[in-house]
Amino acid sequence: MSSAKPMIGTKALSANLKRGRLEVEVNASTFEPQALFRFAERRNPKRAFLFVSCVLGRHIPARPSLMAECFDALAAQIPTDLPGPVLVIGMAETAVGLGAGVHRALARTRNDSVYLCSTRHPTGSAVFARFEEEHSHATSHLLHLPQNAQARALMLTARSLVLVDDEASTGTTFINVCNALADAGLQSIERIVSATLTDWSQGALRKVKGSHASSVSLLAGRYTFAEDAHAELPEMPSVGTVGQSHWPLEPERDWGRMGVCEHRDTLVPDLLVAPGERVIVIGTSEFVWPPFLLAERLERAGADVHFSATSRSPIALGHAIDHALSFRDNYGLGIPNFLYNVAPGQFDRVLICSETPAAALDPALLRALNAQVIVYGH
C-alpha cells in the first residue's frame, strides 16, 4: 500500500447486485479505491449492499502491516489542534480494532487521550450511554463507564470527540452517538471529528452539528443505489442480541470496552513462528485488538501473517465474499456467527483468539480450520 499512488480525479465504480445496481463516485482517496474496498450484498432487508474493506482485517484477511499503515494514515488526518482531553470511540463490532489502531497512533503525540469502544456484550458494570445504528444487522450499542480512575476522568472531561468507524453512509450513527453522549452528561465537547476508511456521508455530521464538527477519511465520495422493487428480500438471521451471555466477561481483563489509555501486547508472549510460515490470526466478534497486536508481532518475527475476525454480520456469497463459514457464537448468545474468505487448508497455522473459554468455541469451526485456540488472560 505504501507504494500505491493517491487517486487523482474522480473515479466511478459500480456493481450489479441481486436487489439493484450500486453506483459509486469516488472524489478523493489516499490510495487506489480498489485497494481499500470492494462490494458485497447484505442478508438484510433494510439495506441491500455493503462496502467491504480490504484493509480492516474483518471480512477480507489482511496483513497486519497493511492494517497498521491505514490506522496511521487515518490518524495523521485528525487535526493536531484538538483541545484535550480527547475521547476516541470505535464502533462495534467492525471498527473496534480500527478505533484502537487510530487511538494508538494518536497517543504517540499526545498523552491526554482515552479509547473506548461501543459494544453489544455488556460487562455487568455501569453503562454510560446507549445509541442506535438503524441500518445495522444489530442496531443497539452500549458505551460503558470506565472503572479505571484515569480513563474515567479523561472521558468525563473530554473536550474533543473522535468517532471511528470503517464507513459512514449517512452519518446518522455518528449523530446518534453525539446525542447519546450529550444526554448522558458529556457536556464539555468543543470539537467532533469522524474518522472513517470510506466516507459517503457528504458532510452530514457537520451539517447537523455545526462548524465544530469535521470528517476525515482515506476515501470520500457518494453512492446511489437503484433498488429493484421486485427483488426478493432476504431472510436475515437473528443476530441483534445485546445482553450478558452464558460466558460472562470480566471487566478487569478488559482491553477497550472499559476505556484504555495505552495498548499493551500481552497475548501469548512466548508464541514462536517459523520464517515464512503461513499464519492467520483470527479474532472473535469484538475481541480483535489483542489478537491484532499478536498478529503484528508474529509478522515482525518473519512469518507470512494475515489477520481476520469472526462476525455476526450476515453477508451473501458473491462479489467480495468468496467463502463463508457459519457456526454458533462463542459468547453463548445463541446467534450465528460467520467467518468470511478463510478456507480450510489455506494456512499452515490457524490461531483463533477468544476472550471466552475455549469450550465456548464451536467445535465445528475448530475442526474445519484445524485451529489452535488462544484464550485471553490464560
Burial of 36 (0-12, 13-18, 19+ CB in 10 A): buried
- Return the CATH number at 328: 3.40.50
User: What global pTM score does this model have?
Assistant: 0.95
- pLDDT at residue 126, as a whole number: 93
For residue range 227-241, list pLDDT tens digits in order: 998 999 888 877 777
Task: Enter the C-alpha cell of residue 234.
Answer: 432476504
Residue 349 in any domain: the answer is yes
Residue 25 in any domain: the answer is no
Which residues 6+ apart lie within 8 Å of 367 measured at CB? none
- pLDDT at residue 118, as a whole number: 96
Residue 236 in any domain: the answer is no
Residue 230 in any domain: the answer is no
Residues in the chain: 378
CA-to-CA dists, residue 371 to 56, 90, 316, angstroms? 22, 28, 24
Which of the two residues, 230 and 134, has the higher pLDDT score?
Answer: 230
Q: Is the pLDDT of residue 59 over 90?
A: yes
Mean pLDDT along residues 299-305 = 98
What is the residue whose three cell numbers read 452528561?
A: 185
Q: Provide the H-helix boundaries in the chain.
A: 33-36, 64-75, 96-107, 149-156, 172-184, 204-209, 289-300, 363-369
Distance CA(171)–CA(204), nearest Å, equals: 5
What is the band of 30 on the pLDDT scale with cuts at 50, 70, 90? very high
- Picking from 256, 250, 305, the residue whose alpha carbon sits closest to that of residue 282 is 305
Map 31-68 to HEC letters.
CCHHHHEEEEEECCCCCCEEEEECCCCCCCCECHHHHH
For residue range 319-337, list pLDDT tens digits in order: 999 999 999 999 999 899 9
Average pLDDT over the chain, rounded to whole? 93
**Would you tell me the crossing angle of helices 289-300 and 64-75 to the nearest 10 degrees?**
120
- pLDDT at residue 97, as a whole number: 98
Q: Is the pLDDT of residue 26 over 80?
A: yes
For residue range 283-292, list pLDDT tens digits in order: 999 999 999 9
Residue 1 in any domain: the answer is no
- Picking from 36, 35, 33, the residue whose alpha carbon sits closest to that of residue 10 is 33
- pLDDT at residue 234, as a whole number: 85
Distance CA(375)–CA(359), nearest Å, equals: 10
Q: Following DSSP, what letter does each residue of 180-219 receive, concatenated? A: HHHHHT-----EEEEEEEEE-STTHHHHHH-TTEEEEEEE
Domain count, the chain: 1
Tell me whether strands 113-117 and 127-132 are parallel, antiparallel or unpaired: unpaired
For residue range 100-112, list pLDDT tens digits in order: 999 999 999 999 9
The H-or-E segment that residue 143 falls in is: strand 140-144
Contact 25, 220 (CB under 8 A): no
Q: What percent of the chain has pLDDT over 90?
A: 83
Mean pLDDT along residues 68-87 = 97
Residue 280 in any domain: the answer is yes
Q: Is the pLDDT of residue 137 over 60?
A: no
Residue 298 in any domain: the answer is yes
The one-character DSSP state at 104 is: H
Radius of gyration of the chain measured on its C-alpha atoms = 20
- Which domain does 354 fall in, by range? 263-375
Residue 314 in any domain: the answer is yes
